[in-house]
Amino acid sequence: MTSPEHKWYIEYTSPATAHMFAVKDYICSVRTGFQQAEIVDTHFFGRCLVLDGKIQSAEYDEYIYHEALVQPAMLLHPNPRRVMIIGGGEGATLREVLRHACVERVVMVDIDAEVVTLCKQYLERWHQGSFNDPRLELIHMDARRYLEENALCFDVIISDLSEPVEEGPSRRLFTRQFYELVKARLFEGGILALQAGDFSKAYLDAHLVIFNTIKQVMPRVYSYHAFVPSFNTDWSYAIVSRDGDLGLIEPEVIDRRLRERKLSLSFYDAETHRGMFAVPRDNRDRRDTETRVIDDDHLFTIY
């Protein structure tokens, strides 16, 4: 039963399911050139960024999502000096990358300047001033076009894109052709990490197809996952090295590199790493028998 004294935000997770959030206040609602962007204050999860009707991150638990997305790739690379971020408008992905003093340059490419401006203004707890770091080059254009037009290479590329919803700005950034471009822009030993959709049994399709698409280009792909309370589900990620095995069975490397880089994280360490990369058998079975591939001529929509 819903409480009559609250206003409720309904997030549709499929045509037949939804989550509800009690709202304190609507901060802003803007139709940008690419998507509907809303920032709301909720009673339980604090401030939330919502794009096209889906919560992207919440004040209560964004550190879980962003540490899970960024830190495995950054710590599995022995010396990540040049990093590219695709999307990541809140600035929290950038924040996590810049924790590493070894990083010399970050190129962040987010197509939607209006969303980034909103996040700079209203989501300071996310970016914590990271947009002012001199190591950052912030570019507002289509990331695929950027990769096509620039020959820069990177040690780590992190893709923090919204899901491939119909008419959304990111659908062509999940295709086989896009991952071929990404591979060409990674240095030897370079690592790609990305958010890869819901990891629960009911909504696993996006992860299955994204994983299999990457596998056509860079075969040694790994799934991992973390429960994000504001998403009300286990959320998935994928990580892959341009040139082969990442050595993911050695989590002690994580704690050693955390000490060497003088990092103190809230969520991620070697013990967390073990759990994140332990994939349930039913999900593994479905993933490893998936045959669909996202192609420029056969785009994928989550529903």
pLDDT confidence of 249, banded at 50, 70, 90? low
How high is the mean pLDDT of the chain? 93
Q: What is the pLDDT of residue 299?
A: 83
Q: Quick one: 20 and 127 in the same domain?
A: no
Q: Quick one: 11 and 129 in the same domain?
A: no
pLDDT tens, position by position, 169-206: 688 899 999 999 999 999 999 999 999 999 999 899 99
Q: What is the CATH number of the domain that holds 42?
A: 2.30.140.10
For residue 105, give its domain range.
Answer: 62-288
Q: Quick one: 70 and 98 in the same domain?
A: yes
Percentage of residues in the chain with pLDDT exceeding 90?
Answer: 82
160 is catalytic: yes
Q: Quick one: 79 and 18 in the same domain?
A: no
In a domain, 299, yes or no: no
pLDDT confidence of 1, banded at 50, 70, 90? very low
Q: How far apart are CA 95 and CA 75, in angstroms?
A: 15
Q: What is the pLDDT of residue 213?
A: 97
Q: Quick one: 122 and 195 in the same domain?
A: yes
How many structural domains are present in the chain?
2
Q: Quick one: 83 and 205 in the same domain?
A: yes
Q: Quick one: 206 and 92 in the same domain?
A: yes
Q: Name the catalytic one among 61, 112, 155, 160.
A: 160
In a domain, 294, yes or no: no
Q: How many CB atoms lie within 10 A of CB 200?
A: 18
Average pLDDT for residues 248-277, to the nearest whole number? Answer: 91
Average pLDDT for residues 263-285, to the nearest whole number? Answer: 96
pLDDT confidence of 2, banded at 50, 70, 90? low
Q: Quick one: 27 and 121 in the same domain?
A: no
HEC letters along 236-260:
EEEEEECCECCCCCCCHHHHHHHHH
